[in-house]
Amino acid sequence: MDAPEHPVDTCDVVVVGAGIVGAAVAARLARQGLQVAVLEAQQVAGGATGRSAGLLLTGLPGHYHWAVQSLGRETARALWELSVEGRERLMETATRLGVPVERTGSLALAVTEEEAEALRASAELLREDGFEAWFGRTDPLQRGFLAALRSPGDGVVDAADLTRALLASAPVAVHTHTEVQALEAEGAGIRVWAYRRAVRCGAVVLAAGGYAPTLEPALSRWVSPGHALRITARLDKGQNQPPLTTPCYTDYGYEYARPLPDGHLLLGAWRYLRRPSPSESSPDPDTALRGGLSRFVRRYFPTVEGNILQRQSGMVGCTPDGVPVVGVLSHLPGVYFALGLGGWGLCWAFVVAERVVEMMLEGTPPGLLDAERGQKR
């Protein structure tokens, strides 16, 4: 029975989460003529999207060499092609919506000889498979890195600005500070119970990142929370090192640095218990996160330590193999999900949004992103 403080609304689709994936899904559905409501526990881009460094990095963490070894050559190549497709679509959309986006390229940097060899092998495999990559046993930043792999197609964007622009580009009803508390089947549809609101709808898309398993525990089969930390710092102009002009990442993609337009530097790290190298795993992801970022800053950006302006922490959704998942809940057939983008989610956002919408409207299988992919091999 509906309580007075829970007015019941109706719509075709409820999207849970107003990050970049939720915004892309909602805008795409609305352009198909559906009535769409987005329910967000915080504010638009208040989660992982708002804490994103804005890096458009192709592929998956761990480098291409690891993906080929773990997933197979054909799958790795297909996933890289998908992320390139997603990167280009995001850049085109940002340009169309008037959101600044820049193709800066990116640098993957080695901190150990093992990683340097992984970068060398990755560059060789990438070129063989038709991707642009340059490798050198030099450090273009002159900060003590052992090797570098350059990907010229990568870029940067303000993910929060793009999310807001996406939601404004289509007739979507956005309800912020409206935490979804439960989902239940109701006839041929779904009842969504949220803070001071209930919605009857035909379908639901869960795009709430690492928080999704809290709402629907069945999702913990595929997605677990990863931890992220980033700092913004003022650069010391007197340092005897060349300025950072290209976004970079290191330690298999788990630490990164990006120069900001205002001259400040953004540095960050993220961790997930299941990492490419088991020897680097930690039973306490928060400790590994703080320790990894602290070592990264002290070793390669030492002048930053006394000039930190802001710290932010949060959660990202991660999958065991690092590949995003798209699917539908077996016990709630009208509830779809697009999750597990990890710390490199921007190049995957438009891909997973397209796959979940096509699955909803046309019954098209999500292919390599299928949540049931392990059982189908």
Q: 38-92, pLDDT tens digit by residue?
A: 999 999 999 999 989 999 999 998 899 999 999 999 999 999 999 999 999 999 9
Average pLDDT, the chain: 91
CA atoms within 13 A on the CB side of 182: 5
Q: Is the pLDDT of residue 118 over 90?
A: yes
Would the pTM count as exceeding 0.85? Answer: yes
Check residue 339 and give its pLDDT: 97
| Separation between Cα atoms, residue 301 and residue 150, nearest integer Å | 20
Q: Cα Rg for the chain, rounded, in angstroms?
A: 21
Q: Under CATH, which architecture does the 1-54+158-222+319-377 domain have?
A: 3-Layer(bba) Sandwich (3.50)
Portions of the chain given CATH number 3.50.50.60: 1-54+158-222+319-377
Distance CA(328)–CA(183), nearest Å, equals: 13
Structure tokens at 360: 């909803």
Lowest mean pLDDT among 36-40, 157-161, 224-228, 371-375: 371-375
State the pLDDT at residue 186.
94
Average pLDDT over residues 152-158: 97
pLDDT at 377: 43
Q: How far apart are CA 18 and CA 49, in angstroms?
A: 9
Longest CA span, the chain:
69
The pLDDT assigned to 195 comes to: 92
Percent of the chain with pLDDT over 70: 92
C-alpha of 369 from chain center? 14
Per-residue pLDDT tens for 204-247? 999 999 999 999 999 999 999 888 999 999 876 655 667 788 99
Q: 281: exposed, middle or buried (C-beta count within 10 Å: 0-12, 13-18, 19+)?
A: middle
Q: Where in the chain do CATH 3.30.9.10 domains reside? A: 103-154+224-318
Q: In the predicted model, what is the mean pLDDT of residues 295-312?
A: 87
Which residues are registered as beta bridge partners of 168? none
Q: CB of 167 within 8 A of CB of 174?
A: yes
Question: What does the buried/exposed string (b/e) look like for 326-335 if buried means 16 or more CB atoms within 10 Å of the residue's CB?
Answer: bbbbeebebb
Is pLDDT above 90 for 271?
no
CATH entry 3.30.9.10 includes domain 103-154+224-318:
yes
Q: What are phi and psi of 308, to 5 degrees?
A: -75, 130
Mean pLDDT to the nearest integer, 129-140? 96
First to last CA, the chain: 45
Query: 257 by DSSP, 3-state: which?
Result: strand
d(CA 124, CA 135): 8
Distance CA 75, CA 89 (A): 21
Q: Beta strand pairing status for 172-175 and 180-186?
A: unpaired
Neighbours of 249 (CB within 10 A): 24
Report pLDDT for 235: 76
How far apart, in whole angstroms, are the C-alpha atoms of residue 257 and residue 152? 17
Q: How confident is the model at residue 290 (pLDDT cuts 50, 70, 90)?
A: confident
pLDDT at 306: 81
Distance CA 259, CA 182 (A): 41
User: Minimal CA–CA distance to 251: which of 127, 58, 66, 81?
Assistant: 66
Nearest of 164, 160, 170, 158 to residue 26 by alpha carbon: 170
Q: Which DSSP string corresponds to 346-361?
A: HHHHHHHHHHHHHHHH
